[in-house]
Structure 1
Amino acid sequence: MISKLQFFKQQLETFHCDDDYKQYLKSHFVQNPNILGRRVLASTIDRENSCVRVVTSDRTGMGKSLYIQRMKEGLKSKCYGVSSDVIIPVHGPKVTSDSIVQLLKISVGNKDTNQALIFHLDISPNVLRQVDSVLFSLLILQAVSDSQGKIWRSYISHLYAIEVSVLKNDIKFAKPTVELLKLLPTVQCLSPRSVCNVLEEGRGDASARLMDEKEFKSSHFQRVYQYLRRHISLSPLDRFSYNPVLVEGKHVECLQVLLKQCGVKDPSWSELKHFVEFLNSQLRSCENSIFCNEDIVGDVMSGLKTFVVKFMIRMSKDFATSSLKGEVAAENQEEIPLEETLQEYQIDERKQWEQSYHPYLFFNEDGMSITFVGFNVTRTGDLMDPVKGLMIEAG
C-alpha cells in the first residue's frame, strides 16, 4: 500500500509569514467567473471574485450588514430576481459542528445547493472563541460534518460572507479565531470619522469599506446634507427645497458636514444614520407644511422656515447624542478601571433631564401645523427658557 501511495506524494510548500498563507488561500478562493459557462457563480459579485469574504469591524454598527446586503442585491440582479442568499445566525450559547450543519441544511431548505448562493454567517462576538474549528472546516476544507456523520459540502457556486465584530477585548480570549480570520480575504468597515480621514488624505485602501454610494445618493442623506451645508454657510433656507434629481457634493464633503453637525465626536454608521433619518423626517414635514411655504405665508411669517430648520438641527443633535459619558467607551471596549466605571456611567450634566429645560419643535400628525414645546421666542428671534428666563440660543 505504501508503495502505491508514493505516486500521490507531493512536496509541501514552505510558508514564512502570514502573507504567504494569505496568498495561498486566496489562490484557492478566487474563482474563474466563466468556469461553469453560463451558470452564475456567487463569487462574481465579490471585489476579487473570492468565494470567501470576511466583513469585519472593531465596533458594532459599522455597516457590515449593509456591505453584505449590497452583495446580495448584486447576486439577485444576476439571478434575474431569484432569491439567492441564506442567513445563518451564529449566536450561541454554544456553537458546534452539529449546530452549524443543522443550520445550513435547514436554511437551504428546498433550494438547489448547486445554484449560486451567498451564505451570510452572522457571528456574535460572544461565541467568537468557539467557531475557529468550524470555520476552518467550512471555509478551508470546504466540508463540515456533524457527530452523526452528516456532511455539508461547499460548491464552487457558493460564497460565504462572514460578518463579525472583533472588539478589542475579544482579541485575547478568541485568539485562534482571530488569527484564522486574518488569513482570509477581508473587508474592514471603518467608522465615518476614519472614512473621512482616509478621503481627506487621499489614501487608497483596497481592504477598507468607505462610504456606500447608494446611501450617499439616497434622499435622506442628500436632503440632510444639502440643508446642513446651506445652514453652515448661513444661506437663507426660506425658499430652498430638496430636489431629488440633484446629487450635490462628494463623499468627503458630505461626511465633513454630517460629522460636524451630528453632535457625536466619533459616531458609528448606525448612530450617524439615526441622526440623518430623524432630521430627514423633520425636514420632509417642513417642506410639506404650508406654514413653512414662503410663497403662502411670506408676508406675515417670513423667515419661519429658516428658524424651524435651525431648531430641528439642534433637536436632532440632541436626540443623537448619548446621555451616558461611558457609553462610547464601552462600545469601543476601552479598558476602564473598575473604580472609575460607576463614575463614567453618570448622566452628563448637559443631559440631566430632570434639572434642565428641553425645547422641542414637532410637526403634528396632519403634517402641516407645528407644536412648540418648552421655549418662548422673543421679537429678536432669541430662544428663551420660560421658567428660568435664560437664553437657550441666540436668534
Structure 2
Amino acid sequence: MTHDAAALGTGLELPSVLLLWIAVLLRGPAGLRPGPHRAVWLAVATATAAMTLGLPSVIAAATRHSEANVVAVVRNVLGVLSAGAVLYFVAQATADVRRLRTALALAVGAVLAVLLSLDLAAAPHLRIAVPATGPPAPSSFYWLVLIGTHLVANALCVLLCLRYGTTSGSRSLTVSLRLFGLGTGLVGAYWLGCLVRVTTGGRWPLPWLALLMDLHGVLRALALLVPTFSVLRRALSNIAVAWRLWPMWNDLVTAVPQVALAKPRHRIREVLWPQVPYSVLSYRRVIETRDAILALTDYAAPARAPSTPGGAPRQDAVADLDAEALADLVKGARNAKLQGSAPARHRVSLSSSGSRDLAGETAFLLRMAKAYRSASPCAGAERR
C-alpha cells in the first residue's frame, strides 16, 4: 500500500502543480485586489512556486548545475512566505490590520533570518533536505524551525476554516473555506510526517509525503477556483435560459420589434458572440419576451380568456392561465398581428405568470416556450 501511495504521489506531482498555476493565473486579477482574498491568493501563489521548485526535474537540473542548495533555500523561503500569508488570512478576522502586517512582517523576517543563519553556519552540504537515510541537512534544528512555522500556520488556518466554513452565509465562500481548510490539513499532515522523520528517524511517513503535498495542491487550487466555477455556472445557466427562450422570443420580437434593444441574430451566434454580457443575456430575453407579450394585448382572442360571472372578459384573466394556455393565446395574437388584423376593440390583459420575482417569471416563460412550439397556429383566427 505504501508503494502505491508513493507511486501515486510521484504521478500527481506535475498535474497538481499545473492545476495550481492555472488557478493562480486565473484568479490573479481578483486576487491582487485589496481585500481578504489577497492573502489566500498570495498563500497559494507562493506555495505553488515552492512546489514547482520541488519537482524532480527542477531538482535534477539544479543538481547538474550545482545549484540544488540555492533552489532549496528559495523553496523554503517561499514556503515561509506562504505560511505568513496563511497567518495573515487567519488573523484578519480578529486583529487590527496595520498591527497585524507589522507583526507578521517581523515574525516572517525573523524566521527567515534564523533559517538562513542556520544554513550558513552548518557544515558544507549540497542539498537542504530530509533524506530517506541519514540525518537531515543542514541540521535538525533548521528543520524544526521550518516545520514548526508551517504547523502553527496550518493549525490556525484549519481552525479558522472550520469556524467560518459553517457560519458563512455565502455558499461559494463556504465551499472555498472547506476546500482550503482540507488542503491545509493535508499539508499539515505532510509537515507532521517530516517532524516524525526529523525527531525519531522513522521512515514510515516518507512514502505518503508526496501524495499529501499533491492532494493539498489540488484542494487549494479548487478552493481558489470556486469563484470562477460560480461565475461559469451562472454563465452556463444564463446561456441555457437564453437558448431555450430564443425560438419564442424570436417569433414574438419579429411581430413587435420595438421591444427588442437589438435586432435578432442567429441562435448560435447569440450564444457564441452575445451583444451583452452573459450575466445580462437571460435577463434581457425574459424582459423582452414579457414586453412582447404585453405588446400583443390588443390582438389576443377574447374567447380564450376567462370571463367574469357576468360574461365580460376580465382584465387580469390571462394571469390565471397556465403556460400552455398562454402560449396558445400569445401565438394566436402574434399570427393575428402578422396577418394585418386590426387591434381588437376589447382589451384582454396578457400577463406572463403573475410572479413577482425574476426566478419565477423565468421558470414560467421556460415552460411557456416549451408549450409554444406545439401551440395551435390558428388560435388568433377564432375571433375574426
What is the TM-score with the length of structure 1 in the denominator?
A: 0.24
Structure showing greater radius of gyration is: 2
Structure with the higher strand share, 1 or 2:
1
What is the TM-score with the length of structure 2 in the denominator?
A: 0.25
